[in-house]
Amino acid sequence: MKIASWNVNSVKVRLPRLMDYLKDYAPDVLCLQELKVIDENFPRLEVEELGYHVETHGQKTYNGVALLSKFPLEDIRRGLPGDDADEQARYMEATVQGIRIASIYLPNGNPVDSDKFPYKLGWMERLITHAKGLLESEMPVVLAGDYNIIPQDEDCYDPKAWEGDALTRPESRNRFRQLLNMGYTDAYRAYTTDVNYTYWDYQRGAWQKDHGIRIDHLLLSPQATDRMGKVGIDKGPRGQDKPSDHTPIWVEIEG
DNA sequence: ATGACTCGCAACGCGAGA
């Protein structure tokens, strides 16, 4: 089963890119982030016509996540537990063919001297707590999404340019590492030591110069890692017209 | 002139993204 994740940066503007991706790459499951639409405005019919089940957790203007699947989506959870006052639509999960799959849009956290940085760190604490619970289920788990974390300096073209940024701050990286240390595997980094990116800024010709960063990740529980096949980053969509600034990342789960 | 961002919006400049 091929599971992919993609921050589309507005599903409305990106609908042609999304349709192309589903047709050309045909992932079994696609986790989407940054929909920027309420559930009623998600292009459900277009996606269903390509043979996908659709579950969304949308929000007006900002955030919003979705799960698309060729197989039924079961036991849907919308929202990350731990803060009933948090109204940002950044998390949902469902079970597909016995695999628990989450679509995650982790807060950016910049600027670090604003309340956005503690919000990011608090959100990560909640994710850590929830991810621990998922491990206890002993299901294969895939936590897929835009983590807004550059795990190591090698995951960005110019570490100095990102020094002090919420994407590289030790507080951010250490919480990401807590997810790894409790038993989750960074699928891309486990598969290859190759330098590769999932995001290139719209500005300053970043795509053309390959000035990217690796911030979209697939974290696999031990039961999922045991079944891990190939892992890749599909750069094609980033080079198209009206692209998202992110490109999809995917993993194959065997069996 | 060497490079120039893109979304959404009770919009028409601004906040947010990373």
User: Model confidence over A157-208: pLDDT tens digits?
Assistant: 999 999 999 999 999 999 999 999 999 999 999 999 999 999 999 999 999 9
- Give the span between the Cα atoms of A41 and A59, in whole angstroms: 10
Instruction: Give the number of domains in chain A.
Output: 1
pLDDT at A88: 96
The closest nt to A212, taking CA to C1', is B18
- Chain B bases under 7 Å from protein CB? 3-9, 16-18
Residue A255 has pLDDT above 90, yes or no: no
CA of A15 to C1' of B5 (A): 20
DSSP letters for A148-217: ----SGGGBS-GGGGTT-TTT-HHHHHHHHHHHHTT-EEHHHHH------SEE-SSTTTTTTT-EE--EE
Range of the domain at A89: 2-253
* pLDDT of A253 strictly over 90: yes
The residues of A that are catalytic are: 105, 146
Protein residues bordering strand B (Cβ below 7 A): A 7, 9-10, 12-13, 34, 36, 60-62, 107-108, 110-111, 116, 146, 148, 167, 199, 201-205, 213, 215, 242, 245-246
> Which residues 6+ apart lie within 8 Å of A184 measured at CB?
A131, A135, A141, A143, A219, A220, A221
Give the CA A35 to C1' B15 distance in Å.
17
Q: Which nucleotide is the nearest neighbour of A61, by CA and C1'?
A: B8
Percent of chain A past pLDDT 70, that is, above it, reads: 100
Question: What is the distance in angstroms measured between the alpha-carbon CA of A205 and the sugar C1' of B4?
Answer: 9
Distance in angstroms: CA A246, C1' B5: 14
pLDDT of residue A20: 97
Write the CATH number for A199: 3.60.10.10
Which nucleotide's C1' sits nearest to the alpha carbon of A41?
Answer: B8
Q: What is the pLDDT of residue A137?
A: 95
What's the pLDDT tens digit per position in A196-236? 999 999 999 999 999 999 999 999 999 999 999 999 999 99
